[in-house]
């Protein structure tokens, strides 16, 4: 599904990603862990197509195509989804029509007909239940006046509606209390399928108690310095990132 | 005696000819007031940029034209004004065409006890003494050029009197329509609203035109909000692109009263709005919301002033402007906390969106505090669309052009959403879609 080869990324004149390689197969869930400043969010943004991130070398192949040639909206329409670390507040733009526009843009690309208001509402109500979200959130402006937890739930709610092929969750666990964390994890787990891949970016192991990854990678200074199974996350939690650095230095 | 500048002389000559036809000719105080106002106008003349309050707004285009006040109104069919009604809402409606009351188009409707809604010209005949303190201008020397012109020439408008505890459920809609049958018409509408203790009403003043014609509206509205009374006031300016519009809204609030103002301006050749609120007793609350749009070579200017005169009052001001083309905008907002007005809570925000490199805004939020224990904040922004918001929308599959349009629409909609009356909210939402430079996809998305 996704193949990243020797990726180098420069932001504001500084090289943040420095030779990153990663392969995510269809149906797999990969966790990317790393200390602050290791390049986790940069990787998420580069995948989603944010402007201002300059790829100086390397390539990213998504479903056999050159991902870097696509705009952010084209990537979204082709099944990519980024759950933001800091979901953006958009005053005056209603959550419902925003979501309907997003869904219909993706459906159009898939060759599916647009959903009418009735079917859309039915779908929305079903997904709201899974995430224990109040229906009144739909009538508000996108993320405006939402608590930190509501914003994160809203990201996963959007993901549940859009049903992407590849989901990137950027620090979805940060700032969540335990109830919200469980709801979010339930929402994510409900979407796990053999046709869908996920990249879970996180600083802490906590989220991975609920979303069990197939592979765990440790990112440090813009490179993946260690990869392993889900037990690697537990090991990291006990030993800290310094352990990986020491190991990498002595290797 | 030296002759006044030509532009001023024009109005002096006009006054000499129309004064005998104006209402209240046989009401001594009003006659005196008009005479004193025209003298004051003659003394002050038109403001120049040397006058701080008019620094960014030149009125020479108004001076240059020879506007005249008609004495008869053209007839306008009910069908042609229907599109300006507040859809799906029962209203107490007074309609004025080119400044003159149109009885056949109006429907004041059934009113609760203790409520008077009357065209001003008739109110002057019915309640001359009551109106004296509200209309007599001979003592005031501070209203400036346009205030003086209005005081001298006012011909009609509305008098709304809400008696003690009176509640008017349906909105009161005052529509001022320019017929476009003739160019260079001036009207000086005057609206007086007197809300006694515990009364409540929503009043809509809308300024619209049938054609793209040149005319001048010089409006004055006075509102007295009595103890514990609540007034929602809407001013919707949606006129000809060639229209000139100057308005002055003066509000006086008593203890525990609430005043909510929504002022929306869709531009004209020159639009200037002054709003002044005096919080003159404890626990009064006022909110001022505003939105202005201007494109082409339009000019829109808002000057607001809130005086916190007594303790424990709250004011919340929220204004947004969207400018494109070579349009020019001005926002000047003063919040003045007077000595003794302790425990004042005042917030002021002005955010502006510039959609072209030639559009310009001068924004000047001013906070002056002369009291203790106050909670005051103010801020202004001027900018383009937010990149974070844009990326968020695009990352959800919404293409760049639609995303930009959606953000522009949302920026404006954020003000409109604060309006309580859904008929007005929906009407304005439609207008925003037709007026803003947004992609056709946006209409599908929000439609």
Choose from B289, B397, B442 for mutation: most chain A CBs within 10 A. Answer: B397
Q: Determine, for residues B395 and A109 on separate chains, whether the beta-carbon distance falls below 8 Å.
A: no
User: What is chain A's mean pLDDT, rounded?
Assistant: 92
Facing A48 at nearest CB: one of B389, B395, B412: B395
Mean pLDDT of B147-172: 96
Asked if the model's pLDDT at residue B138 lies above 70, the reply is no
For position B141, what pLDDT does the model report? 52
Chain A residue numbers touching B407 (CB-CB < 8 A)? 90, 93
The model's confidence at residue A130, banded by pLDDT at 50, 70 and 90, is confident
Q: How far apart (Å, rounded) are the C-alpha atoms in residues B318 and B330?
A: 14
CA angle B76, B79, B80 (to 5 degrees): 55
- pLDDT of B447 higher than 80: no
Nearest Cα to B411, choosing from B387, B388, B434, B432? B432
A16/B135: higher pLDDT: A16
Query: Which residue in the set B394, B397, B412 is minimally distant from A92, CB to CB?
Result: B412
Q: Please list every residue in chain B whose beta carbon sits closer than 8 Å to the beta carbon of residue A84.
A: 392, 395
- Residues in B closer than 8 angstroms to A106, CB to CB, are 397
| pLDDT at position B437 over 90 | no
Q: What is the mean pLDDT of residues A175-200?
A: 93
pLDDT digits (tens, 9 = 90+) for B328-370: 999 999 999 999 999 999 999 999 999 999 999 999 999 999 9
Rounded average pLDDT over B123-150: 84
Share of chain A above pLDDT 70, in %: 100
Tens digit of each residue's pLDDT (9 = 90 or more) over A212-247? 999 999 999 999 999 999 888 888 888 888 788 777
**Stated pTM of the model:** 0.93
Which three-class secondary structure state does DSSP give residue B177? strand
B417/A76 Cβ within 8 A = no
What distance in Å separates residue A237's CA from the closest CA in chain B? 32
CB contact under 8 A, B389 and A109: no
- Give the span between the Cα atoms of A163 and A103, in whole angstroms: 9
Contact (CB<8Å) B395/A101 = no
DSSP 8-class letter at B54? G
Query: B401 to chain A: nearest residue by CA?
Result: A73
Are B397 and A49 an interchain contact pair (Cβ–Cβ within 8 Å)? no
- Report pLDDT for B18: 93
Task: Identify all chain A residues contacting B396, using CB atoms and an 8 Å cutoff.
Answer: 76, 98, 101-102, 105, 158, 162
Residue numbers in A near B399 (CB within 8 A): 73, 105
Query: Distance between CA A20 and CA A41 in Å, rounded?
Result: 14
Asked if B410 lies within 8 A of A101 by C-beta distance, the reply is no
Indicate yes or no: CB of B395 within 8 angstroms of CB of A91. Answer: no
Domains of chain A (ranges plus CATH)? 2-250 (3.40.50.300)
Contact A213, A230 (CB under 8 A): yes
Q: Report yes or no: B402 at the A interface, CB cutoff 8 Å.
A: yes
Q: Order of strands, edge to edge, in the sheet holding A14-24?
A: A14-24, A2-11, A54-62, A65-66
Smallest Cα–Cα separation from B305: which of B376, B394, B368, B221?
A: B368
Nearest-CB residue to B396 (from A76, A92, A94)? A76
Partner-chain contact B417 A92, CB within 8 Å: yes
Asked if A91 and B414 come within 8 Å (Cβ–Cβ), the reply is yes
In B, which residues are within 8 Å of A158 by CB distance? 396
Give residue-wise pLDDT tens across range A73-124: 999 999 999 999 999 999 999 999 999 999 999 999 989 999 888 899 999 9
Cα→Cα distances B281→A128, B278, B376, Å = 48, 9, 18
Instruction: Report percent pLDDT > 90 for chain B.
Output: 85
- Give this complex's ipTM: 0.96
- In Å, how far is A30's CA from the nearest CA of chain B? 21
pLDDT at B133 over 60: yes
- Closest partner CB to B389 (pick from A50, A73, A90): A90
Whether pLDDT at B89 is above 80 = no
Q: Choose from B319, B386, B396, B444 for mutation: most chain A CBs within 10 A.
A: B396
**Closest Cα of chain A to B328: distance in Å?**
24
Contact A105 B399 (CB under 8 A): yes
- Domain spans of chain B, in order of start: 6-386, 387-447
Helix B400-416 with B422-435: angle, nearest 10 deg: 150
pLDDT band at B137 (very low <50, low <70, confident <90, very high): confident
Q: State which residue of chain A sits closest to B400, comparing Cα positions.
A: A73
C-alpha distance from residue A174 to each of A178, A201, B9, B228, B378 (Å): 11, 11, 71, 47, 32
CB contact under 8 A, B446 and A94: yes
Residues of A in contact with B389 (CB under 8 A): 88, 90
CB atoms within 10 A of CB B144: 18
Taking CA–CA distances from A44, the nearest residue in chain B reads B395
């Amino acid at each position: 599904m996704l193949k990243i080869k020797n990726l180098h990324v420069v932001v504001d004149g500084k090289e943040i990603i420095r030779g990153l390689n990663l392969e995510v197969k269809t149906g797999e869930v990969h966790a990317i862990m790393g200390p602050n400043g290791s390049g986790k969010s940069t990787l998420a943004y580069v995948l989603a197509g944010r402007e201002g991130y300059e790829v100086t070398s390397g390539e990213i192949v998504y479903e056999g195509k050159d991902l870097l040639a696509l705009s952010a909206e084209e990537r979204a329409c082709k099944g990519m989804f980024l759950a933001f670390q800091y979901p953006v507040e958009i005053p005056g733009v209603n959550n419902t029509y925003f979501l309907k526009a997003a869904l219909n843009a993706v459906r159009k690309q898939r060759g599916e007909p647009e959903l009418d208001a009735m079917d859309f509402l039915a779908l929305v109500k079903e997904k709201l239940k899974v995430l224990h979200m109040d229906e009144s959130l739909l009538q508000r402006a996108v993320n405006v006046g939402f608590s930190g937890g509501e914003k994160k739930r809203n990201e996963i709610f959007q993901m549940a509606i859009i049903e992407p092929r590849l989901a990137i969750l950027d620090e979805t666990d940060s700032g969540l209390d335990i109830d919200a964390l469980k709801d979010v994890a339930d929402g994510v787990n409900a979407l796990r399928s053999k046709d869908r891949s996920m990249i879970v970016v996180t600083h802490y192991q906590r989220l991975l108690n609920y979303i069990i990854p197939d592979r765990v990678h440790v990112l440090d200074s813009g490179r993946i310095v260690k990869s392993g199974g889900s037990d690697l996350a537990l090991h990291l939690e006990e030993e800290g990132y310094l352990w990986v650095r020491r190991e990498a230095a002595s290797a | 005696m030296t002759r006044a500048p030509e532009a001023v002389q024009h109005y002096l000559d006009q006054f000499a000819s129309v004064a005998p036809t104006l209402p209240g000719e046989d009401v001594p105080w009003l006659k005196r007031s008009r005479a004193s106002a025209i003298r004051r106008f003659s003394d002050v003349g038109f403001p120049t940029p040397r006058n701080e309050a008019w620094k960014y707004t030149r009125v020479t285009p108004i001076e240059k034209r020879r506007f005249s006040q008609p004495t008869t109104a053209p007839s306008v069919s009910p069908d042609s004004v229907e599109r300006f009604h507040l859809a799906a809402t029962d209203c107490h409606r007074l309609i004025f065409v080119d400044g003159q009351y149109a009885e056949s188009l109006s429907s004041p409707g059934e009113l609760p006890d203790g409520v008077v809604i009357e065209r001003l010209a008739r109110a002057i005949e019915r309640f001359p003494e009551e109106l004296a303190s509200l209309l007599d201008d001979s003592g005031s020397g501070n209203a400036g050029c346009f205030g003086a012109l209005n005081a001298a020439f006012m011909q009609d408008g509305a008098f709304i009197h809400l008696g003690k505890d009176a509640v008017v459920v349906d909105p009161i809609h005052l529509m001022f329509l320019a017929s476009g049958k003739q160019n260079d018409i001036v009207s000086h509408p005057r609206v007086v609203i007197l809300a006694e203790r515990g009364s409540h009403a929503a009043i809509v003043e809308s300024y619209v035109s049938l054609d793209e014609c040149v005319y001048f509206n010089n409006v004055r509205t006075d509102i007295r909000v009595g103890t514990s009374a609540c007034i929602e006031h809407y001013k919707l300016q949606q006129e000809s692109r060639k229209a000139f519009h100057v308005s002055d809204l003066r509000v006086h609030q008593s203890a525990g009263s609430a005043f909510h103002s929504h002022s929306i301006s869709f531009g004209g050749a020159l639009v200037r709005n002054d709003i002044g609120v005096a919080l003159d007793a404890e626990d009064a609350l006022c909110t001022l919301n505003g939105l202005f749009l201007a494109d082409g070579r339009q000019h829109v200017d808002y000057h607001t002033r809130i005086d916190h005169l007594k303790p424990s009052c709250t004011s919340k001001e929220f204004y947004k402007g969207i400018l494109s083309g070579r349009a020019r905008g001005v926002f000047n907002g003063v919040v003045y906390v007077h000595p003794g007005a302790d425990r004042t809570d005042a917030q002021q925000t002005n955010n502006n969106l510039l959609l072209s490199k030639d559009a310009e805004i001068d924004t000047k939020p001013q906070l002056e505090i002369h009291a203790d224990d106050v909670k005051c904040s103010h801020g202004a922004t001027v900018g383009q669309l937010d990149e974070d918001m844009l990326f968020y929308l695009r990352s959800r599959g919404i293409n760049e052009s639609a995303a930009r349009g959606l953000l522009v629409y949302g920026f404006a909609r954020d003000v409109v959403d604060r309006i309580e009356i859904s008929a007005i909210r929906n009407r304005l939402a439609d207008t925003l879609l037709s007026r803003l430079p947004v992609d056709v996809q946006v209409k599908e998305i929000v439609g």
